[in-house]
Amino acid sequence: MAFDKQITIPEGYTFRPLEKTDYHNNYLDVLRVLTEVGEISESKFNELFDYWKSLSDIFHPHVITNKSGKIVAVGMVLFERKMIHECSIYAHIEDIAVAESEQGNKLGYSMIVGLTNVAKEGGCYKIILDCDPKNIGFYEKCGYTNGGNEMFLKFNA
């Protein structure tokens, strides 16, 4: 199935790659809507940002900002180089979150479409994401289909 959706976001909002200065621009607070983030210092944020930047063929963190430039949605697409399909690239969407004050404005949809287009433009042959069963309908509206079950094993830290 071809993916031909173009990102459309409300007027005044911007979809863009994460920037190092976003530590001070609500990035971590929006991510906390999704899950536990913990305390992350600016130096730790910068260290991880620099790591992602050094592997920019793999890590593609993006944000959506509102009219005042404040981050209101976050997401990540990761590229995985596979041996299968003649050494093709496949993508994973991760860490989608929208600020509570902005939910209902279709920013989650915009983030998914934007990241999907990043993967398509990056030459990926396939893109996957894991989601809670209650979110399946949302991802179907974004053009995704249910492809199976997620399995995981957690290690104690």
The percentage of the chain sitting over the pLDDT mark of 90, rounded to a whole number, equals 83
**Residue length of the chain:** 157
Predicted pLDDT at 72: 98
Residue 48 confidence (pLDDT) above 60: yes
Mean pLDDT of the region 28-50: 97
Res. 9: pLDDT tops 90: no
Q: Is 27 helix (H, G, I), strand (E, B) or coil?
A: helix
Where are the extended beta strands (E) located within 14-119? 14-17, 59-65, 71-81, 89-98
Averaged over 40-57, what is the pLDDT? Answer: 97
Instruction: Check if the beta carbon of residue 49 is closer than 8 Å to that of residue 95.
Output: no
Q: Which domains does the chain have, with CATH numbers?
A: 14-141 (3.40.630.30)
* pLDDT confidence tier of residue 152, bands split at 50, 70 and 90: confident
> Which pLDDT score is estimated for 96?
97
The model's pLDDT over 61-107, given as tens digits with 9 standing for 90+, comes to: 999 999 999 999 999 999 999 999 999 999 999 999 999 999 999 99
CA atoms within 13 A on the CB side of 81: 5
Residue whose C-alpha is closest to residue 97's, from 19, 142, 32: 32
Please tell me the least confidently modeled range out of 16-30, 65-79, 124-138: 124-138
Q: 103: helix, coil or strand?
A: coil
Write down the pLDDT at residue 90: 94
| pTM, rounded to two decimals | 0.91
β-sheet with 89-98: strand ranges across: 14-17, 59-65, 71-81, 89-98, 124-129
